[in-house]
Amino acid sequence: MGVNRMESSKVGKDIDSWCTRCKLMLRHTIEAVVGGKITRVHCNTCGAQHSYRAQPPGQGSATARSRASTAGTRSMRRSTGSSRATVEDYPRMIQGRDRASARRYALTERFHTDDLVSHPSFGLGIVVAEKDGTKIDVLFSTGVKTLLHGR
């Protein structure tokens, strides 16, 4: 396994890395290697250049995972901003809405608060908050997810 890592850590090769702009594990191109370790990459999806991150935030060490699991509720509240929407609110917020009017989620589409969204993985959701002009918080039956939009 160490041999494969060394072979794949050459400048110009592709590798999976956490993209700090897209907030996803995506294919990146290696730009710099120091002492056999990948230091800089750029995202093949959005073009952002950043430090190499082998794993998403919170999955790096046992300590970080432990901290993340005990702060689950606080993290969800923080990500929903002032909306404070929870799974328990989902039935009430969806009730009476025309499910046929839900717009299919696409990264290039723009959404606004209270829009119904049809997501291929998460299902039917409702936009509960807009953040930074490029992100939206969407409440699904499984919880709130932060999604990119308008790109």
pLDDT value of residue 91: 92
Determine the Cα–Cα distance for residues 94 and 23; give it in Å rounded to an integer.
27
Closest to 38 in 3D by CA, of 23, 48, 28, 47: 28
Determine the Cα–Cα distance for residues 31 and 9; give it in Å rounded to an integer.
10
Domains and CATH numbers, the chain: 2-51 (2.30.30), 68-148 (no CATH)
pLDDT value of residue 103: 95
pLDDT by position in tens, the chain (length 151): 444 444 468 899 999 999 988 888 999 999 999 988 999 999 998 989 999 998 888 776 554 444 444 444 433 334 434 457 888 889 999 999 999 999 999 999 999 999 999 999 999 999 999 988 899 999 999 999 999 998 8
Q: First and final CA of the chain: distance in angstroms?
A: 37
Determine the Cα–Cα distance for residues 87 and 150; give it in Å rounded to an integer.
26
Q: Is the distance from CB of 118 to CB of 124 less than 8 angstroms? A: yes
Q: Which residues pair with 91 in a beta bridge?
A: none
Q: What is the pTM of this model?
A: 0.47
Q: Which residues pair with 76 in a beta bridge?
A: none
